[in-house]
A = this chain, B = another copy of it.
Amino acid sequence: MSEDSTQSRRQFLQKTALGGAFAGSFSLPILANADKLELPDNLPHWMRVPGADFSNYGQPSSHEQQIIRWISANPDALGNGVSWTPLHALQGTITPNGLHFERHHNGVPQIDPTQHILLIDGLVDRPLSFDVKSLMRYPMVSRTCFIECGGNSNSGWRSNPIQSQAGYAHGLVSNAEWTGIPLKLLLEEAGIKPSAKWVIAEGADAAALNISIPIEKLLDDALLALYQNGERLRPENGYPMRLVLPGWEGVLNVKWLRQLRLSEQPAMTRDETSQYTDLLADGKARQFSFINEAKSLITTPSLGMMLPDNPGIYQISGLAWSGRGKIARVEISTDGGDSWVDAELQGPILDKAFTRFNLAWKWQGEYAILQSRATDDSGYVQPTREALITNRGKHGFFHYNAIISWEITEEGDINHVYGF
């Protein structure tokens, strides 16, 4: 079927009819209860009593306590597991610090910042060590970017689609404004020997997680991050300091960073050999893939929600990101990929950061398969699951970025399916 078919376009609300950003077509009453009038002099309870005290550090409403990171802990290994960001319950692009995803190898170390030291050694002219107080005197830059675990969405490699909410299946990715010191500055202060091609980074957790990073990335846009969304890092996100490598997979963004050792070769650590590599169909392993390729996720509507009105107007909304650069385009399909319509992208569109997309959809009770497809400014197009498996084989566990499909039944229920 041709893309942008007339039939397909008719079901979406035309942007030209929206009068600027959004108004216009919405002047029809789209809400069932918009005209059930409540009089303003019908004062609610909370206008009749004094409000609660102020707080030194605010918390979410008690009515939102169900909006949490879902913890998936490995029962066989204490401190090993992940915490999922509830992307299906969030809006905009920033992930609040309390809900940023986590991947832990041995729990959350409780680090006294006055005792923490970062060492830069190996192939340098002079090894250097830095405490937090010293680092606070360096020039800092800010950068909003996503971080995604290489294992995010790995249920996609299984035979049957997992029936978890969007964030609890695909939420090992979050987006924050990170502020810290350009790594280039610290490495150049130590003096990089010409033979140094890799940097072995190690964290100060009990797993002593370590991994090898090409030195070019650290000299490009890597940060030694000290702040996340304005405040100091949270313990579970690397307090007192972590690496942030924009667009590169999570495990490389070493938390609780304590050492950068410059070397000629990668160290071939556990997490770049047995883990975070992809077993291909021919038996070879794809290693050092680094970049999180373009991906997108419809967060609304998604599994666990439903479409109450038939016919009804629904706002399709979601997130797209790419480790290669900016999101250039997100297309939406409601027929399992036969036809596509461009979604509207919410600006500012930042490099290697979440971009939210939106599209109004008029559902008339038909069976539908909702999909989103991201294209980045390098021209990379998010693949179908079939194309991903053709390319990478059936035995993958990491780096799953195929198109995600939500099935809408004629009753308005939503399930996870593997597309058509």
A95 proximal to B (CB < 8 A): yes
Q: Footprint of B on A, CB under 8 Å? A: 20-24, 26-27, 29-40, 44, 46-64, 67-71, 73, 78-79, 81, 83, 89-100, 102, 104, 106-113, 115-117, 119, 121, 126-131, 134, 137-142, 177-179, 182, 184-185, 188-189, 191, 202, 204-206, 208, 226-227, 229-237, 239-240, 258-259, 261, 313-315, 317, 346, 348, 350, 356, 358, 360
The distance in angstroms between the C-alpha atoms of A140 and B61, with both chains bound, is 21
CB distance from A100 to the nearest CB of B (A): 7
Q: Which residues of B contact A98 (CB under 8 A)?
A: 57-59, 231
- Are B58 and A97 neighbours in the complex by a CB distance under 8 Å? yes
Q: Which among A47, A64, A202 has the highest number of chain B CB atoms within 10 Å?
A: A47
Determine the chain B residues whose CB is within 8 A of the CB of A38 once the complex forms. Answer: 117, 119, 129
Given contact pairs A37-B127, A90-B231, A229-B229, enumerate 17 new A-B contacts (beta carbons under 8 Å).
Answer: A22-B185, A23-B182, A32-B134, A34-B130, A40-B259, A46-B206, A47-B208, A50-B78, A51-B79, A51-B206, A52-B108, A55-B83, A56-B71, A63-B113, A64-B231, A99-B231, A141-B346
The 7 closest A-B pairs by CB, nearest first: A51-B107, A56-B68, A92-B179, A46-B109, A91-B227, A92-B142, A38-B117
Contacts of A128 in B (CB 8 A): 34-35, 37
Contact between B230 and A31, CB atoms less than 8 A apart:
no
Cβ contacts under 8 Å, A239 to chain B = 61, 63-64
CB <8 Å contact, B93 and A26: no
> Are B185 and A26 in touch, CB under 8 angstroms?
yes
- A325 CB, nearest partner CB in chain B, Å: 15
Q: Check if B29 sits within 8 Å of A61, measured CB to CB.
A: no
Q: Which residues of B contact A202 (CB under 8 A)?
A: 40
Could you name 5 residue pairs across A and B whose Cβ atoms are closer than 8 Å? A26-B188, A34-B128, A40-B119, A46-B205, A91-B142
A interface secondary structure, majority: loop
Shortest Cβ distance from residue A329 to the other chain B in the assembled complex, whole angstroms: 19
Is there contact, CB below 8 Å, between B26 and A138? yes
- Distance in angstroms between the alpha carbons of A356 and B40 in the assembled complex: 42
Q: Which residues of B contact A119 (CB under 8 A)?
A: 37-40
Interface-central residue, A54, A59, A69, A259, by most chain B CB under 10 Å: A54
**A51-B93 CB under 8 A given contacts A34-B134, A115-B44:** no
Asked if B232 contacts A138 (CB within 8 A), the reply is no
How far apart are A239's CB and chain B's nearest CB, in angstroms?
5
- Quick one: given A46-B111, A52-B108, A119-B37, are A61 and B26 in contact (CB under 8 Å)? no
B227 touches A40 (CB 8 A): no
Cβ contacts under 8 Å, A129 to chain B: 33-38
Give Cα A353 to B204, complex, Å: 36
Contact status B58-A93, CB under 8 Å: no
Closest B residue to A102 by CB, please name it. B54
